[in-house]
Structure formats: structure tokens, C-alpha cells
Amino acid sequence: MRGTLVETLIGAVVLLVAAWFLYFAYSRTELGPVGGYHVSATFDKVGDLANGADVKISGIKIGTVTAQTLDTKTYQAVIEMSIQSDVELPDDTTAKVASAGLLGGSYVNLEPGGSEDLLKDGGRIGYTQGAVDLMGLLGRFIYGSTDSGKETPKADAAAPATETGP
């Protein structure tokens, strides 16, 4: 019976250390939602943007995507974001869905404008750019564009070459 009690106590200590490690890792990596004010933006395409994705300015995380809905009248994606309360955004800020590389996830990149007026809680970012379809661009690059309708003029091989000389 004494051995079972010791094993139980060691197991409890291991579980407590594991729980403390998970709490420490979660609190230090800024994975949780950002407190502050909420803004929204409307996009044509959001790609693989997910809830919990970062909202960044100049590569620095200043917020989190909190919700995604479809506007059933315009068929555009409405993205809700939580922004840190110490970051004040001008009302002419632009939002762009960007990719963290070919294999990386998507995030919202904000570029502040120069307006004196600031976005308030519940405000809407009016200037947006949707996600770029990287696979479509890669396909066009590899196979060439077939939708242009114009052909590139080719040199006629049968035409004689002319020389200019003295």
C-alpha cells in the first residue's frame, strides 16, 4: 500500500508540472485573444484566413481575428478583429489579407493612413485588399496566361534579312 501512495503522489506532481508548463507556454506565446477595441473589414476573398489569425502592423502583432461571416447581400467576407487598446488606428487605415509564405498561414496586415480621425470601437475599415491566390499565380507563371486573347507577334522565318551597310 505504501508503494501505491508514493506512485500516486509522483503522478500528481508530474500532472501539476505539466499543467504549469502549458499555462506558462500559453501565456508567453500570445496565442490568446487580444483585449481592446473591435473593428471590422469587408473582403472579396480571404483565402485560408482563420479565426485566431494575427492582425499585424509592420510585422508586429497588434490584434487577432475574432470572427468571420458572409454578408448575404454583397457575398463578401466580413472579418471582425480585436485590436490592442494602446494602438490607435486612423480611419483611413487599409487592410490586406497577406500570406506568411508559400506554406505559412494567412494574417491581416494593416497599413495606417494619415487621417486625424481615429477608428472607434465597432468601426469599419473601408479600404481592403483580398487574399492573392498563390496557386493560381503559380499556374499562370508556369503554363502562361491563356485568357489574354492576344498572341505575341512572331518574326517571319521566311522573310529575308535585310542588311544596312555602306
At residue 132 the predicted structure's pLDDT band, cuts being 50, 70 and 90, is confident
Q: Supply the pTM of this predicted model.
A: 0.64
Q: Tell me if 130 sits within 8 A of 106, measured CB to CB.
A: no
Please provide the DSSP assignment of 27-82 as one string. HHTT-SPPPEEEEEEEES--TT--TT-EEEETTEEEEEEEEEEEETTTTEEEEEEE
At residue 110 the predicted structure's pLDDT band, cuts being 50, 70 and 90, is very high
Tens digit of pLDDT for each residue in 69-106? 999 999 999 999 999 989 999 999 999 998 887 677 88
- Does 30 have pLDDT greater than 60? no
What is the reported pLDDT for 32?
A: 54
